[in-house]
Structure 1
Amino acid sequence: MATPSETTLLILGAGGDLTHRLLLPGLATLLAVEPERRVRVVGADRADLSPTQWKARVKDSFASVKTPAKVTKAVTADTAYRRTDLLEEAELRSLVQACGDGPLVIFFALPPQVTMKVCDLLQHVDLPATTRLALEKPFGTDRESAAEFNALLHRVTSEDDIFRIDHFLGVATVFNLVGLRFANRMLAPIWSAEHIERVEIVYDEDLALEGRAGYYDGAGALKDMLQSHLLQVMSLFAMESIAVLDAQELRDQKVQVLRATRVWGGSPKRSSRRARYTAGSIAGHDVPDYTAEHGVDPSRGTETLAQVTLEVRNNRWAGVPFVLRSGKALGSPRKQIVAHFRDVPHLPTGFIGTSGGDRLVIDLKPGAVSLTLTMNAEGDPLDLEQKTLSAPLAAPRMQAYGEVLAQVLDGSQLLTVRGDAAEECWRVMEPVIKAWAADKVPLETYAAGSGGPDGWLPDE
């Protein structure tokens, strides 16, 4: 039973990969940095795990991030596991009652459709006065289902206690972007269409499917990455200034960007691309054709690389293409935001070379920023070349899931996705989803380990 000074973290779906690989290690990094926190971990799932097996699983997850022994011992001494059919109301009620009357965080480490069914039951269960719901993306499967999901969640608790999690919005990502934009005088005045020609937000991975066919083959790169993570990053990049680091103000500004966002030119056929990897090699390891991966249904036509060009129709960004791209099994991982600056209006006659190509690059993993500028080359003083100034960004104190859990445990909404933003993200990508479903955009191919099909992103 939880004591009044601690919070119970109830993990639904505790037997799954998300809990073992990301959630528990994230919690371990949080408690290693903030050992004064009192968190009791309760796992629940249909799997039949003994107390010994559950504690071993917690220890193994904590060991994966080299957690101090004192932290591991404190958590495992009081952790518990309950075998529960989460779709049976009586069992769910008993599980919640066993967590006590203290502050409760319910983390849904479950498939989206199961999460909705559990929430439907929770509205009939008496919850502690302080109960927060932490939910993984995707938030629905389209705009209509996202709205229905929001209505269901609001029957369980208020929006202030709903935490839609996007681990891309970890503290380091948010603070680095906000700090870079608004904490210096040099960049703020040029952060607009007047000076920026285009923006690319790219998350290319060298990982292939890695056993995730159960989820990924039903989602694809567009829904898995662009519709959620990359739109959230774009809204941070493009938002107007905030006065304080306040959750409501930050999320208000982000959703204003999303409301102004449309597919470039209103044409998903011309402004989106999709492709799927074929057999190839990455770092000396053979990768099978995507359709040959275990659990994949080739008839679905699932893409593993997606690119969509968007426009933000407001005074600051009108006319600037925002290119969002993400894919798997690519030869060179690339996880960055690139702002390409416009050429100077006039290059003085007599200089040799070009002044074009200046850009700001923000690396998301690892965090770094580099500024490529045109300047005089060595040797001939009339010759121009580009030189790059680089600096690392502040390193995160803990893993992304640790940062997110800290905010949930504290009741801070700073890093979460608000309900209206979740619906807007689906609205933005809805035309593309429909065009792809109707085969109006061809499904291209690329060999695993390559850079993807030719001619997608503009040349650097």
Structure 2
Amino acid sequence: MTKTPNPLRDPRDKRLPRVAGPCVLVLFGVTGDLSRKKLLPAIYDLANRGLLPPGFSLVGFARRDWDHQDFRQIAYESVKEHARTPFREDVWTHLSEGMHFVPGEFSDPGAFDALAMAVKELDESRGTGGNYAFYLSIPPKFFPQVVEQLQRSGLADAADEAPERRDGDGGSRPWRRVVVEKPFGHDLQSAKELNDTVHRVFPEESIFRIDHYLGKETVQNILALRFANTMFEPIWNRSYVDHVQITMAEDIGIGGRAGYYDGIGAARDVIQNHLLQLLALTAMEEPTSFSAEAVREEKAKILSSVRVPGPLDLCTARGQYAAGWQGGVKVNGYLEEDGIPRDSRTETYAAVKLQIDSRRWAGVPFYLRTGKRLSRRVTEVALVFQQAPHQPFSQTDTEELGSNALVMRVQPDEGITVRFGSKVPGTSMEIRDVNMDFAYGESFTESSPEAYERLLIDVLIGDPPLFPRQEEVELSWKILDPIEEHWAERGELDQYKSGGYGPDSADELMARDGRAWRRL
């Protein structure tokens, strides 16, 4: 019996080398924060780890009057400041030789003709084989212009390329791929329109929708924890789990993202993608294999089974951070941030209670919350278990005993915590909660790659299991749209102090069910 290779295996595993084949990565929006702080450093780190081919080439496209050397200098500064791996001059020299820049507007056909000429020259000079990946690190409103220009200029069509040149996938035909950054629309209708726009030019198998959370080692470890260990699966269900809490808390405000954030809000920015993906990975059934199709199929089944309980007033909460103290520093409220209208109704905190209509999870609430300017930064998934049906102890013996919990920490202290009751040393029978911790940094000598390293190499190789497909995107919007519509009609928005734990309405949401949020 042939075992199906696990595409979630670490790419550094020598038994499964995952080195990209010859290719060009065209980066639109190369002057933005994402490119400078994440993408360019991740590309260098991949090169430093030996995962890019010798002829790999990077082409930046932006509305700047730069030449190739200007682009290389910007990339150099980004790598020196943000790269995860040590800087090596020989690696940088080789990588930078393949860096080129094409100036232009998204609406300018001449600029895209120049881009087409540039990548064809790279095919000849660096042997990139006609394989191109287009990374759209740009606002979604520009997607139609860019993909139409890619089609008009022939860049999106591999049919005319030499058929005998082999790419890194082992195929005989050059490939074209497009990478789309979230948000994937702002509601179900816009998500469908965005998908139609991209699909007019690229087939589904060539579209990679980036959710960088899915590239994090600890998110992938949810699947490893569940399906590589027999000790957890028997209790991973409604018979033992009381409820699940999924949290993404940030201790920062919106920073310079006012233009993007206002009108989007916490729910669209985080719950629709990151937290619902975490819910799907936590609740899904075991896939038949770790192929992209099998994993995506199980995630889609769960998302299609999610039900928003009603009435919505009782199962949702939203708030907006007010002025306060953060780390001993006085900070502004959301309405005082630069670029934010003083009458903005955009939430910076959102919480929602969801139910999953399945045999495994019937009656188990999933509580999702996210917020800015909270007491600390943490992302975690916590399974809180039911109390033991009978405890042969007196009430005073267990007055400090809570519920057992299994907590998967995504950031910043990546690892797993198990909380359980243990006897306090002494002559009396006193039981308290204790924690048993697993930390990535202490258990493995190698450091975890950044999420964008994993996702970029998957794009270049053509390995899609960590990328949500359109069905998942639409199912997520079907969950969130009724909540957003309700909030738009109701209009209420609670204020909460910066540096705290969120609005009172979020605590009330849990208190109505006799539960409480885990302390941040």
- Do both share a fold (TM > 0.5)? yes
Distance (whole Å) between structure 2 residues aligned to residue 177 and residue 232 of structure 1: 11
| Whole-Å separation in 2 of the counterparts to 1:231 and 1:120 | 31
Instruction: Report percent identity of matched pairs.
Output: 32
Question: Of 459, 482, 496, which residue of structure 2 is paired with 1:446?
Answer: 496
Give the structure 2 partner of residue 359 of structure 1: 405
Post-superposition CA distance 1:121-178 (Å, at most 9, x none) = 4343423341110110011121112112222222212111110000000151343111
Shift of 1:376: 2.4
Residue 77 (1) aligns with residue 97 (2): yes
SS where residue 415 of structure 1 aligns? coil
Residue 61 of structure 1 pairs with residue 78 of structure 2: yes
Q: Which letter maps to 1:436?
A: W
- Pick the aligned partner of 2:65 from 43, 48, 73: 48
4+ long deviations beyond 4 Å: none
Picking from 431, 456, 466, the partner of 1:415 is: 466
Structure 2 CA distance, aligned partners of 1:391 and 1:274?
33
User: Which amino acid letter does the alignment assign opposite residue 50 of structure 2?
Assistant: E
Question: Is 2:87 aligned against 1:87?
Answer: no
Output the amino acid matched with 1:21: K
The equivalent residue for 2:483 is 432
Q: 2:165 is matched with which residue?
A: none
- Report which stretch shifted further, 110-119 or 90-99: 90-99
Look up the equivalent residue of 2:72 and give its one-letter code: K
- DSSP 3-state at the match of 2:134: strand
**3-state DSSP class of the match of 2:330?**
strand
Output aligned runs, 1:25-44, within 5 Å: 25-38=41-54, 39-44=56-61
CA shift digits 1:74-104 (9 cap, x unpaired): 1212211111111234432431342126210
Q: In the alignment, residue 420 of structure 2 is paired with which amino acid?
A: L
Q: Is the 8 A contact 1:213 1:295 kept in 2?
A: yes
1:383 Cα deviation (Å)?
A: 2.2
1:171–1:287 CA distance, 2 compared to 1 (3 A): closer
**Residue of structure 1 equivalent to 2:12:** none
SS of the aligned residue for 2:506 comes to coil
For residues 406 and 5 of structure 1, the distance between their equivalents in structure 2, rounded to whole angstroms, comes to: 10
Q: RMSD value over aligned CA atoms?
A: 1.9
Q: Could you say which residue in structure 2 is the equivalent of 1:6?
A: 22
**Counterpart selection for 2:434 from 380, 383, 387:** 387
Tell me, yes or no, if the aligned pair for 2:216 and 2:450 is still in contact at 8 Å. Answer: no
Q: Take 2:61 and 2:348, find their aligned partners in 1: how far apart are those partners?
A: 33
Q: For residues 138 and 417 of structure 2, what CA distance do their matches in structure 1 show?
A: 39
1:184 is aligned to 2:229? yes
1:116 has 2:144 as partner: yes
Alpha-carbon contact 1:172-1:396 (below 8 Å) kept: no
Paired residues of 2:265 and 2:348 also in contact (CA < 8 A): yes
Structure 1 gaps of 5+ residues are none
Q: Where in structure 2 are the equivalents of 1:2-401 lying within 5 Å?
A: 6-38=22-54, 39-64=56-81, 65=83, 66-100=86-120, 102-126=130-154, 127=156, 128=158, 129-170=174-215, 172-263=217-308, 265-348=309-392, 350=394, 352-353=397-398, 356-365=402-411, 366-380=413-427, 382-393=429-440, 397-401=448-452
Q: Which moved more, 1:386-395 or 1:159-168?
A: 386-395
C-alpha separation between the residues in 2 aligned to 1:47 and 1:415? 33
Label 1:31 to 1:266 Cα distance change in 2 as closer, same or farther (>3 A): farther
Deviations 1:315-368 (A, max 9, x none): 111111111111111122221111100011111255721564110111101311
In 2: Cα distance, 1:33 partner to 1:98 partner: 27
**Counterpart Cα distance in 2 of 1:175 and 1:16:** 28
- Structure 1 Cα separation of the partners of residues 517 and 36 of structure 2: 40
The offset of 1:188, in angstroms, is 0.8
Matched positions, count: 455
How far apart, CA to CA, are the structure 2 residues paired with 1:35 and 1:459?
Answer: 42
CA distance in 1, matches of 2:417, 2:402: 16
Residues 44-63 of structure 1, C-alpha deviation per residue, up to 9 Å, x if partnerless?
01122233321111101111
In structure 1, C-alpha distance between the alignment counterparts of 2:382 and 2:216, rounded to whole Å = 20
Asked whether the equivalents of residues 84 and 95 of structure 1 are also in contact (C-alpha less than 8 Å), the reply is: no
Give the match's secondary structure for 1:208.
Answer: coil
Task: Compute the displacement of 1:242 (Å).
Answer: 1.8
Distance change (3 Å), C-alpha of 1:455 and 1:377: farther
> Partner of 1:438: helix, strand, or coil?
helix
**TM-score normalised according to structure 2 size:** 0.83
Larger RCO, structures 1/2 (Cα 8 Å, 6+ apart):
1
Measured in 2, the distance between the counterparts of 1:306 and 1:67 equals: 40
8 Å CA contact 1:225–1:326 kept in 2: the answer is yes
On the 8 A contact 1:278/1:288 being kept in 2, the answer is yes
Gaps of 5+ in 2: 1-19, 124-129, 159-173, 508-515
Deviations 1:396-432 (A, max 9, x none): 6321111110110110001101011111111110011
Deviates more, 1:66-75 or 1:224-233: 66-75
Q: Give the whole-Å Cα distance in 1 for the aligned partners of 2:464 and 2:321.
A: 38
Shift of 1:381: 5.1
CA distance in 1: counterparts of 2:21 and 2:483, whole angstroms? 49
- SS of the equivalent of 1:353 reads coil
Residues 449/188 of structure 1: CA separation in 2 closer, same or farther (3 Å cut): same
